[in-house]
């Protein structure tokens, strides 16, 4: 047992316990309220591509693993002309989004044009390396690859093994514990989100599914990867009715973890169509087909074998200018989750972990201004399979003000 000093009013000690219930007490910390995006506007898309584009239906992006602040993304739009790769009613318009401090640049291209047909395409998602993509095309689930991240996608291929009745509304490509996978909803209400292995070379998915989100009616999953490249958390849309859908956060990929209605949207009276995360900023398309955004602070945990090994934790906050004072996160662990979470004087968001002996300080991480991310890695001894160690961070923004508690997460041993 070890003791540490911390900056919150708690005497802290921590002893290692056994298996605990899944995390799920505290969601992302929003640094403000959602506002309209100033770059992903219909007027800007029309000016950059074509005035014939009449609406933005979806938005998604994934980070370039080799260039901090650079993202490969796509819009699903209505009215994309053939000169820009359009072919039907709703089409995919790909782009590269670069954010450097407060400067945002979007460069549209036709690299995803091969996905477009005379029918309706939607749910386009780039793979985590930007070298492949998956998409819904009518009743088909399709994929395509490319040789470099600046090249156009090659020929499209149907993904064998994906269900078509009921048909999942959205798919998302990712790695889960080092295995290439696709997460998708079950396609029926009440819905769940499941994962399948993905054989990219064979254009197929495994027949075995693992439920990663249950409760509510989740669809449109967006997997958030940690510093080791594995998906550690999910954003998703929770269908309420034909005119209402909220945004949920799942801090792990465990079906026993209840989705958290994300606080900035708890009073959001509308319909969110799609959601994604880029550089500590959540983007979503509302029912008026307007892209909104809000800056966030969160924490990603890790899963590893019962034999132990390297633990990779990731805290994230908004991208900052290079000359700005960097954000810093302190990482803590405990033996249980607080239910309900509590407020702590002098801090923002909620404290969601606790132990009668206190918290253990794991270490600190300075956020890179270009990515908004801070990683903490260390070697863990062996634990019994099923052991769950609750974790949470306390992030001090470089701009000052009271620090924020991050979302809760977990170190899990399988």
DSSP calls for 249-278: EESSS-TTSPPEE-GGGTT--SB--EEEE-
Q: What confidence score (pLDDT) does residue 265 get?
A: 57
Q: What confidence score (pLDDT) does residue 217 get?
A: 84
Separation between Cα atoms, residue 271 and residue 274, nearest integer Å: 9
pTM for the structure as a whole: 0.91
DSSP per-residue letters across 164-205? -SSPPS-EEEEEETTEEEEEEE-SSSS--EEEEEEETTTTEE
Q: What confidence score (pLDDT) does residue 187 get?
A: 80
Q: Alpha carbon of 99 to those of 29, 107, 265, 329, 375: distances in Å?
A: 21, 12, 24, 22, 20
Evaluate whether 315 touches 393 at the Cβ level (below 8 Å): yes
**What burial class does residue 357 get, using C-beta atoms within 10 Å of its C-beta: 0-12 exposed, 13-18 middle, 19+ buried?**
middle
Q: What confidence score (pLDDT) does residue 96 get?
A: 98
Q: What is the pLDDT of residues 80-90, one digit of tens each?
A: 999 999 998 89
Q: What confidence score (pLDDT) does residue 7 get?
A: 36
List the helix and strand counts (H, then E) for the chain. Answer: 1, 34
H helix or E strand, kind and range, residue 242: none
Q: What confidence score (pLDDT) does residue 78 get?
A: 97
Residues of the chain with pLDDT under 50: 1-24, 266-267
Q: What confidence score (pLDDT) does residue 41 get?
A: 97
Q: What confidence score (pLDDT) does residue 316 get?
A: 97
Taking alpha carbons only, the member of 304, 279, 292 closest to residue 247 is 292
Per the structure block, which two tokens stand in for 21?
């219930």
Q: What confidence score (pLDDT) does residue 264 get?
A: 56
All domains of the chain in start order, with CATH? 2-27+301-413 (2.20.130), 31-295 (2.115.10)
């Amino acid at each position: 047992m070890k003791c540490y000093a911390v900056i919150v009013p708690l005497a802290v000690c921590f002893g290692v316990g056994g298996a605990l219930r899944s995390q799920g007490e505290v969601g992302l910390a929003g640094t403000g309220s959602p506002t309209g995006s100033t770059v992903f506007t219909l007027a800007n898309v029309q000016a950059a591509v074509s005035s014939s584009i009449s609406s933005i239906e979806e938005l998604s992006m994934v980070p370039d693993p080799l260039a901090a602040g650079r993202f490969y993304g796509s819009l699903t739009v209505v009215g994309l002309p053939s000169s820009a790769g359009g072919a039907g009613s709703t089409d995919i318009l790909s782009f590269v989004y670069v954010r450097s401090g407060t400067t945002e640049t979007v460069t549209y291209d036709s690299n995803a044009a091969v996905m477009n047909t005379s029918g309706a395409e939607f749910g386009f998602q780039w793979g985590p390396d930007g070298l492949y993509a998956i998409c819904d095309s009518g009743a088909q689930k399709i994929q395509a690859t490319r040789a470099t991240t600046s090249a156009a996608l090659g020929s499209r291929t149907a993904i064998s093994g994906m269900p078509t009745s009921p048909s999942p509304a959205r798919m998302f490509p990712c790695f889960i514990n080092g295995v290439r996978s696709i997460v998708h909803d079950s396609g029926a209400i009440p819905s769940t989100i499941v994962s399948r292995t993905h054989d990219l070379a064979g254009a197929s998915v495994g027949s075995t599914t693992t439920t990663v989100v249950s409760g509510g009616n989740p669809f449109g999953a967006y997997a958030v990867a940690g510093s080791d490249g594995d998906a550690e958390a999910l954003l998703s849309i929770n269908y309420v009715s034909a005119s209402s859908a909220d945004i949920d956060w799942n801090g792990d990929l465990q079906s026993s973890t209840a989705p958290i209605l994300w606080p900035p949207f708890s009073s959001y009276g509308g319909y969110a169509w799609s959601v994604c995360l880029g550089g500590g900023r959540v983007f979503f398309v509302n029912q008026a087909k307007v892209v909104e955004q809000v800056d966030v602070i969160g924490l990603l945990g890790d899963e590893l074998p019962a034999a132990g090994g390297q633990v990779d934790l990731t805290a994230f906050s908004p991208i900052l200018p290079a000359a700005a004072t960097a954000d810093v996160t302190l990482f803590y662990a405990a033996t249980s989750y607080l239910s309900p979470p509590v407020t702590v004087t002098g801090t923002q968001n909620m404290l969601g972990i606790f132990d009668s002996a206190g918290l253990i300080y794991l270490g600190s991480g300075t956020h890179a201004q270009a990515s908004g991310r801070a990683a903490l890695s260390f070697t863990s001894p062996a634990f019994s399979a099923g052991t769950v160690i609750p974790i949470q961070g306390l992030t001090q923004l470089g701009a000052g003000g009271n620090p924020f508690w991050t979302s809760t997460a977990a170190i899990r041993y399988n």
